[in-house]
Structure 1
Amino acid sequence: MDLVERSELEELQSKQVTELKIFNSGLKIGGTKFKKQDMPHLAH
């Protein structure tokens, strides 16, 4: 795995982590405001 691939992968992972943190804090703040269908990529 070369360095470019690796940095892109890390960037993608940190982006997903950030989205997840935003989603989780949104759940805490908004309660039922966020539903799973609003963010389908997080519904497994």
Structure 2
Amino acid sequence: MLLTVGLLAGLYAVFIGVLLTVNAGLLTIIVVMGLFMLGQLFFSDR
């Protein structure tokens, strides 16, 4: 479980880095990360 959380955090950090590299705005980054987190919640096994 800890490995999964760590890998997801790393993946999110890479995506944030890519968005920062292409000069995306702060609002765009927040929206994209929010959508990723909602997708993670929706597709998780509960």
Q: Does TM, normalized by the shorter one, top 0.5?
A: yes
* TM band (smaller chain): 0.5 to 0.7
Which structure has more RCO (C-alpha within 8 Å, separation ≥ 6)? Answer: 2
RMSD: 2.5
Identity between Structure 1 and Structure 2 (%): 3
- Residue-pair matches, total: 32
Q: What stretches of structure 2 of length at least 5 have no aligned partner?
A: 35-46
Unmatched segments (≥5 aa) in structure 1: 28-33
Q: Which has the larger radius of gyration?
A: 1
TM-score, normalized by length of structure 1? 0.56
